[in-house]
Structure 1
Amino acid sequence: MPIIKRLHQKVPITALGLCCLGLLLSLSGNSGWAKSPRSEDPQGISAICDHAASRAAAESNVPLEVLRAITRTETGRGGKSGLEPWPWTVNMEGAGKWFETEAEAKAYVEKHFQRGARSFDVGCFQINYRWHHQAFESLNDMFDPVTNARYAAKFLQDLHGEFGSWTKAAGAFHSRTPKYADRYVARFTRIRDDLTPMTAVASLPERRVTTFSAPRPLVAGRRTTALISAPSGATSAALGSLVPLSGGSGQALIAIR
């Protein structure tokens, strides 16, 4: 059984139903957590996105505060230190969820992928599968915090070249429709202005990577975004970004679209 199948591997259409119906979950033995993901300190998990943003910023000309604000605007929830990003976030066809572990997030994607879902966002920067999967080797790559952050940085660089400012690039990262972009920019700016300096860290923590293989993707479509109402996975059908404006429990529901 393959652990990872490349997303754009050429698979004969007659064989798709037989060998690639869904995502096949398995644990990789190449790396490991020092502790079980369930026993990880939530603050340590929330720091993963900031570490990934730091690496992506160092490798690009995207300011670190822009990446840190984007990941919070996309996935932020209330924590001990205020609004914190969450790497195991999935936005599935307009319904957003936070998951306590990477394995739970991937199992959720697998379940919905099997039923035909293709419009979903994953990871620290909520990269959309339907629009952007061709830039990744696999869904595992899309979930990887550093790979996710690097792609977001490249996308923001391209948008900065087009729009001429990081603030406008942030708005276009969410939507090219002005009314949606403007609402997103207002939230992004508020979050960026409230950022505290990032503590220096040597590197990302070691983690056990849960992997899955994916069938050949469908044709690209439109990106959707959604918001979350509960810290461990309650959903809302309303459209918007994954961001509570309060610094508390993460219960605020503010729709962007």
Structure 2
Amino acid sequence: MGPRHVLALALSLAAVDAGAAVAAVPETARVCLDVADRAADAHGVPRAVMRALTRAETGRARGGALQPWPWTVNMEGAGRWFDTRAEALAYVKREQARGARSFDVGCFQINHRWHGDAFPSVDAMFEPAANADYAARFIAGLYAETRDWARAAGYYHSRTPEFFTRYRARFERIMAAGDPEAPTVAVAAPPAVEETFRPAPGEGPLFGPRLSRPGLWRAAGPAKPGGVALRNVAAARPLIRAAARPLID
């Protein structure tokens, strides 16, 4: 085989390897989309709403589209994407050993501090189907309260007006961008009157302050050992905290 043939073969093999790597990205991103659909169907939530929610929580631009990522962790304000579940879990375990307690994991960024007792283990919180089911039940309850999916998504994040408004706007932008793989759903326009944010019955406000979460983060540069660091591109975002036992952080 001559030099030209060797070079051509090498380039061809490189192209195949590159193509396989690119193909793996949508496949991993699809994990969140698939469980979003199943949880949506199980709890009466439009599929487009759940898909937009996971993109708002963990999405990053890949292949010209905002793709969710199941192995996303926000560790006390520091957000990272990991290539695998094992890497994400190992990172969480290391940080827990150092004393970390408040962190968000998975397709829908469920917080361990407030909701870890709903799962048998941290590893179980990373399970995409369980993560999505938890989120779907919560946003379905918020829709029952508001009768407006965009407002429910805002409340999923926070009832603090500043954070609620910013997150709802992000959710609406994602919904407006559309999803060719899911049915569209109308998102009601916000009311013209001033929003009223009510405290939850019992112990104070439904939501309390928190650090930022990955929904409004982007990659801070080349991948680093232990995940891709995220850089905040918006102001700090609040911790979703329910009165007696919060459902979602």
* Displacement after TM superposition at 1:162 (Å): 2.3
Q: Name the SS for the 1:97 alignment partner.
A: strand
- Which residue number in structure 1 is paired with residue 229 of structure 2? 235
Distance 1:188 1:59, change over 3 A: same
The CA deviation string for residues 69-113 of structure 1, in whole angstroms up to 9 with x for no partner, is: 010000000111410000000001011001111111001100001
Which consecutive unaligned segments of at least 5 residues does structure 2 have?
1-20, 184-207, 238-249
- Which residue number in structure 2 is paired with residue 3 of structure 1? none
- Which residue number in structure 1 is paired with residue 141 of structure 2? 158
- Which residue number in structure 2 is paired with residue 226 of structure 1? 213
Q: In structure 1, what is the Cα distance between the partners aligned to 2:57 and 2:25?
A: 18
Larger gyration radius, structure 1 or structure 2? 2
Q: Name the SS for the 1:83 alignment partner.
A: strand
The normalised TM-score by structure 2 is 0.69
Q: In structure 2, what is the Cα distance between the partners aligned to 1:255 and 1:182?
A: 12
- Which residue number in structure 2 is paired with residue 14 of structure 1? none
Aligned counterpart in structure 1 of residue 118 of structure 2, from 111, 132, 135 = 135
Q: In structure 2, what is the Cα distance between the partners aligned to 1:178 and 1:92?
A: 24
The CA deviation string for residues 208-247 of structure 1, in whole angstroms up to 9 with x for no partner, is: xxxxxxxxxxxxx965432443274343575xxxxxxxxx
Distance 1:156 1:199, change over 3 A: closer
Aligned counterpart in structure 2 of residue 80 of structure 1, from 47, 60, 63 = 63
The alignment status of 1:122 with 2:105, answered yes or no, reads yes
Name the Cα RMSD after superposition: 2.4
Distance 1:65 1:158, change over 3 A: same
- Which residue number in structure 1 is paired with residue 41 of structure 2? 58
- Which residue number in structure 2 is paired with residue 218 of structure 1? none
Mapping of residues 4-83 of structure 1, within 5 Å: 41-83=24-66
Identity %: 50
More helix as a share of residues? 2
Q: Name the SS for the 1:156 alignment partner.
A: helix
* Displacement after TM superposition at 1:131 (Å): 1.4
Q: Runs of at least 4 residues of structure 1 off by over 6 A?
A: none
- Which residue number in structure 1 is paired with residue 177 of structure 2? 194
Which consecutive unaligned segments of at least 5 residues does structure 1 have?
1-37, 201-220, 239-252
Amino acid in structure 2 at the alignment position of 1:235: A
Q: How many residues align?
A: 186
Q: In structure 1, what is the Cα distance between the partners aligned to 2:57 and 2:136?
A: 14
Q: In structure 2, what is the Cα distance between the partners aligned to 1:63 and 1:74?
A: 17
The normalised TM-score by structure 1 is 0.67
- Of structures 1 and 2, the one with the larger relative CO (CA 8 A, separation 6+) is 1
